[in-house]
Chains A and B, each alone.
Chain A
């Protein structure tokens, strides 16, 4: 099992360029998440997908879009990158039990370091 994988590992963009960050998990998890981590900060939730076919905004969704392509894959798109989006992006997944509160951990990918010039 590879767990949660993310591509690319590093990316440098110019202001206004677009790109898509890819995330895939092989643990058959139904919930997937995108977070960003800025220096000296904890992770902040950008978007999440509780199950295949659904996506919802998190704490900091502005400037991003997401696609839950299938149960395994959840991508994050920056349509017009801005320097404020320079950050490390983490994808995570977990099993979400239907009808009950979440009592399980999330599994994180290794992150994508994005710099916007």
Chain B
């Protein structure tokens, strides 16, 4: 079953605006990761935040994690047309959590940046 749910499912904004995507999950995690997928391509890792971290930055990306609410958000600032893609959150519980060693993905947010 899907661990996470992204919100919104689709988002269309103007170039230069900020884009915020949210992710909720169900079980305890070791870390949460965000990936980008361009149409017809594989996934590219964007950022990883550990369960004991609350906020992390990487370039124009800002990720927050609230383990008490089991939620995370991804903020892309000053969006560009090249940011158009699908964005997925993925939780990593690890085998110590009793599950399989692998990522559990949400359904993704499709982001469109209008030029």
* Residues of A that sit less than 8 Å from B by CB: 4, 31, 33, 35, 40-45, 48, 50, 56-59, 90, 92, 96, 101-111
Contact = CB atoms under 8 A, between A and B. Distances in A.
Contacts of A56: 100-101
Interface stretch (B12-20, B41-49, B59-67, B69-77): B41-49
Contact of B2 (A31, A41, A90, A105): A41
A7 to B, nearest CB: 14
26 contacts: A33-B103, A41-B107, A42-B2, A42-B88, A43-B43, A43-B90, A43-B105, A44-B105, A45-B100, A45-B102, A48-B102, A50-B95, A56-B100, A59-B100, A90-B42, A101-B31, A101-B94, A102-B94, A103-B31, A103-B48, A103-B50, A104-B48, A106-B33, A106-B45, A108-B43, A111-B41
Nearest to B96: A101
B24 to A, nearest CB: 13
Interface of B: 1-2, 4, 30-31, 33, 35, 41-45, 48, 50, 88, 90, 92, 94-96, 100-108
A50 B95 CA distance: 10
Nearest to B103: A106
A33 B90 CA distance: 14
A108 B45 CA distance: 9
Given A35-B105, A43-B88, A104-B48, 6 more contacts: A45-B102, A50-B101, A90-B42, A101-B31, A103-B50, A106-B103
Scoring B41, B43, B94, B105 by chain A CB atoms within 10 A of each residue's CB, the highest score goes to B43
A6 to B, nearest CB: 8
